[in-house]
Amino acid sequence: MKRNPSTQVAMKSLFSTYSKRMYLKGIAVMLFLLSFASVSSAFHESIPSIIPSIDGQIQENEYQNHYRDTKINMDVYWTLYKENIYLALRSHAKGWMGIGIDPTGSLMQGADIILGYVKDGKLFIQDNFANSAVNRAPDTVLGGKNDILESAGSESDKGTVIEFKRKLNTTDSFDRALTDNEYKVLLAYSESDDLTSYHPVKSTAFINFFSGNVRNEDTDDVGKEGSIVKTQNPATDSIPAEKDRYQSFLTMLTGVISIAGITIALLIIPERGRSK
Amino acid sequence: MTHLHTISAELHTGMLVLAFISISLKIIGDKLGKFPKATQVLEQTAYVSALTGFLFLIVSAITGFTQTWPREALLASPLVLNKILFTEFAIVFWTIFLLIRWKYGADLWKSLKLKTLYVSMALGGFLSITLTGSMGGHVAKKESLLDLFLHKSGINTHVPFTLPETWIVPILVFIFSILIISILLRKKYKIAREGAIHDS
């Protein structure tokens, strides 16, 4: 495309002293406005992190996902962040409570279990593995390792809260590597701090920790009010099917081609009176 | 690294909004026929801030995809898919904006066509980053200042924005038709001009 003479002159003069001065002024104005914006933004609340704080307290909307098991009145909260899962459990009892993920055999056999209790304000938590249908042992005893990276808990008249963080894939053979799949999840708690005490209060749910979808074993209902409570989680509001993702990609491509195509067409079409 | 995404997101938004405001003020100044020096500075400001904002937009897009949530979680969210969609649109709008300014310089303001295209790109880019910003607000804070407006407009950013397949082909055919017509018009114009030169 040939440039007309006036354009060429304008391009050359772009680097003239006057133009450079104007650029410097432009940069100065931009920096001034930017510094003003920075100062004013300091007065605004900073964007909260999506990472929950492991402090033994569960704040409203702290976690991206929430499942309330109404059968036993126990809550499970979780957030996935990078390669980690932040998980919190809350029961209305003052004894131990635990979560068992993906039992492969009968009852709890093969489940990746984390359980703990709070005594005198201190949390006692264990990374366990169910080596039989009714027994479990700490991973460290079985030859694995403790993969709880951070933990905190609290106990009050309202009940007990346990929060912890671990990797989605700990690479420990006694832990379940969590992926975008539905897992059978065992929930239980007791009124006693004795970890060997039987747990009559127990329930089962099917959770996809990635999508946030939960299926209750008893009701088989997803999203039934009172059974499953989900916070407004953008990652899990409605999971797009593979077709939707493909459709989204096609939409993006169509949009990009349309914008670029219309621009190119407009640039190609000669402007009236331009030849003069 | 998440901080890098937060910083780049804040910076590209600020810079690109500044570019759009500068362009808007420049147009108002031109319409009024006043403050020629100020409008010239605003024009330069728009270019420089759009360039800086564009670079941070790229950084923000990359860090958003690689440093925030696990990829499975990102692609499982309709909101994030919409955010990616509008980020792509914003990148295209601001790329064209910068290319026009780079190719034609401040001279573009002398051509109605270029001026319209340039301002349209700034407007498209601004609206795109406004929407992505609102979606980012939902990702981080589960709310956005735009919610009231979006709800009243019936726009739900939690539902995938997808075109039905039956629309995609006609749209693409329409775009390619426009391209072909514009090429034919250009050829016709060129022949007519050569004829006029020959006659004279």
* Span A56-89, pLDDT tens digits: 999 878 888 889 888 888 999 999 988 899 999 9
Q: Answer yes or no: is pLDDT of A33 > 60.
A: yes
> What strands lie across the sheet with A150-156, from one edge to the other?
A65-69, A74-81, A84-91, A159-167, A150-156
What pLDDT shows up at residue A128?
92
Query: What residues in A contact B14, CB-CB < 8 Å?
Result: 34, 37
Determine the pLDDT at residue A238: 47
* CB-CB contact of A62 with A75 (8 Å): no
Quick: pLDDT tens for A146-167.
999 999 999 988 889 999 999 9
| A214-250: b (≥16 Cβ within 10 Å) or e | bbbeeeeeeeeeebbebeebbbbbebbeeebbebbeb
pLDDT at B121: 95
Quick: pLDDT tens for A192-211.
888 776 666 788 899 989 88
The two structure tokens encoding residue B64: 């958003």
CB neighbours (10 Å) of residue A196?
8
- Residues B158, A23: C-beta atoms closer than 8 Å: no
* Mean pLDDT value across residues B102-125: 92
A244 neighbourhood in chain B, CB within 8 Å: 78, 81, 160, 162
What 8-state DSSP symbol labels residue A209? Answer: T
Enter the DSSP assignment of A73: T
3-state secondary structure of A190: coil
Please give the Cα distance from B171 to A250 (Å, whole number): 12
Would you state the pLDDT for residue B70? Answer: 64
b/e code B121-159 from CB counts within 10 Å (16+ = b)? bbebbbebbbbbbbbbbbbbeeebebeeebeeeeeebee
- Return the pLDDT at A240: 57
* Mean pLDDT computed over every residue of chain A: 77
* Higher pLDDT among residues B138 and A118, named by residue: A118
Average pLDDT, chain B: 87
Residue B55 has pLDDT above 60, yes or no: yes
pLDDT at A226: 30
First to last CA, chain A: 17
Q: Is pLDDT at B47 greater than 70 in this prediction?
A: yes
Task: Say yes or no for a CB contact (<8 Å) between B165 and A7.
Answer: no
Of B18, B140, B182, Cβ closest to residue A47: B140
Q: Which range has highest mean pLDDT (A41-55, A233-247, B79-93, B186-200)?
A: B79-93
In A70-89, the residues whose Cβ lies within 8 Å of chain B are 80-83
- Is the pLDDT at B143 greater than 80, yes or no? no
Task: Name which of A14, A238, A259 is nearest B89 (Cβ-Cβ).
Answer: A259
- Relative to beta strand A74-81, strand A65-69 is antiparallel
Query: Cα separation of B43 and B45, whole Å?
Result: 5
CB-based burial label for B92 (10 Å; 0-12, 13-18, 19+): buried
Q: Is the pLDDT of residue B51 over 50?
A: yes
User: How far apart (Å, rounded) are the C-alpha atoms in residues B10 and B17?
Assistant: 11
Q: Which residue of B has its CA nearest to A241?
A: B76
Q: Which amino acid is at B108?
A: L
Of A71-80, B67-76, B133-142, B188-197, which one has max mean pLDDT? A71-80
Q: Say what the pLDDT of residue A11 is.
A: 53
Chain-chain contact of A23 with B10 (C-beta, under 8 angstroms)? no
Nearest Cα of chain A lies from the Cα of B178 at a distance, in angstroms, of 6
Buried b (16+ CB within 10 A) or exposed e, A42-54: eeeeeeeebebeb
Torsion of CA A199, A74, A153, A192, to 10 degrees: -20
User: Could you identify the residue written with the tokens 């090429």?
Assistant: B183
Percent of chain A having pLDDT more than 90? 30
pLDDT-derived band at A237 (thresholds 50, 70, 90) equals: very low
Q: Measured between CA atoms, how close is A227 to chain B, in angstroms?
A: 22
Render pLDDT for B73-94 as a digit per residue (tens, 0 to 9): 677 677 888 899 999 999 999 9
Among A153, A105, A154, A101, which Cα is nearest to A127's? A101
DSSP-H helix ranges across chain A: 5-13, 17-42, 139-142, 242-268
pLDDT, position B16: 95
pLDDT, one tens digit per residue, over A6-23 is 555 555 555 565 566 666
All structural domains of chain A with their residue ranges: 1-47, 65-216
State residue A86's pLDDT score: 93
Task: Give me the residue from A239, A256, A275 closest to B88, CB to CB.
Answer: A256
Spatial separation of the C-alpha atoms in residues B109 and A7, rounded to whole Å: 11
Is the pLDDT score of A183 beyond 70?
yes
| B114-133: pLDDT as tens digits | 999 999 999 999 999 999 98
Chain B contact for A259 (CB, 8 A cutoff): yes
Q: Provide the token pair at A201.
A: 């209060």
Q: What is the mean pLDDT of residues B105-117?
A: 91
Q: Which tokens in the block code for residue B9?
A: 């997101």
**Residue range B92-98: mean pLDDT, rounded:** 95
Residues of B in contact with A233 (CB under 8 A): 142
Nearest to B77 among A23, A29, A234 (CB): A234
In this prediction, residues A252-256 reach a mean pLDDT of 91
A22 and B124 within 8 Å at the Cβ level: the answer is no
Nearest to B76 among A239, A252, A274 (CB): A239
> Is A25 in contact with B78 (Cβ distance < 8 A)?
no
Residue A178 has pLDDT above 80, yes or no: yes
**What percent of chain B clears pLDDT 90, i.e. is strictly above it?**
50
Q: Is B65 exposed, middle or buried (0-12, 13-18, 19+ CB in 10 A)?
A: middle
Least confident of A92-106, A245-259, B71-85, B114-128: B71-85
- A4 in contact with B, Cβ within 8 Å: no
Q: Which of A3, A84, A231, A247 to mutate to test the interface with B (most CBs of B within 10 A)?
A: A247
pLDDT, position B135: 87
Among candidate residues B138, B176, B140, B162, the one with its CA nearest the CA of residue B2: B140
Q: How many CB pairs under 8 A join A and B?
A: 203
Is pLDDT at A230 greater than 60 in this prediction? no
Predicted pLDDT at A155: 92
* CA-based nearest distance B169→chain A, Å: 9
**Residue A216's pLDDT band (boundaries 50, 70, 90)?**
confident
Residue range A114-122: average pLDDT? 91
> In the CATH scheme, what is the homologous superfamily, with its name and number, of domain A65-216?
Cellobiose dehydrogenase, cytochrome domain (2.60.40.1210)
Percent of chain B with pLDDT over 70: 94
Contacts 24+ apart (CB under 8 A), A218-225: A218/A71
* B41·A25 Cβ contact <8 A: yes
DSSP secondary structure, A106-173, as one string: STTTT-EEEEEEEETTEEEEEEEE--SSS--EEHHHHT------EEEEEEETTEEEEEEEEES----T
Q: What local confidence, expressed as pLDDT, does residue A224 receive?
A: 30
Highest mean pLDDT, choosing among A71-75, A102-106, B174-178: B174-178
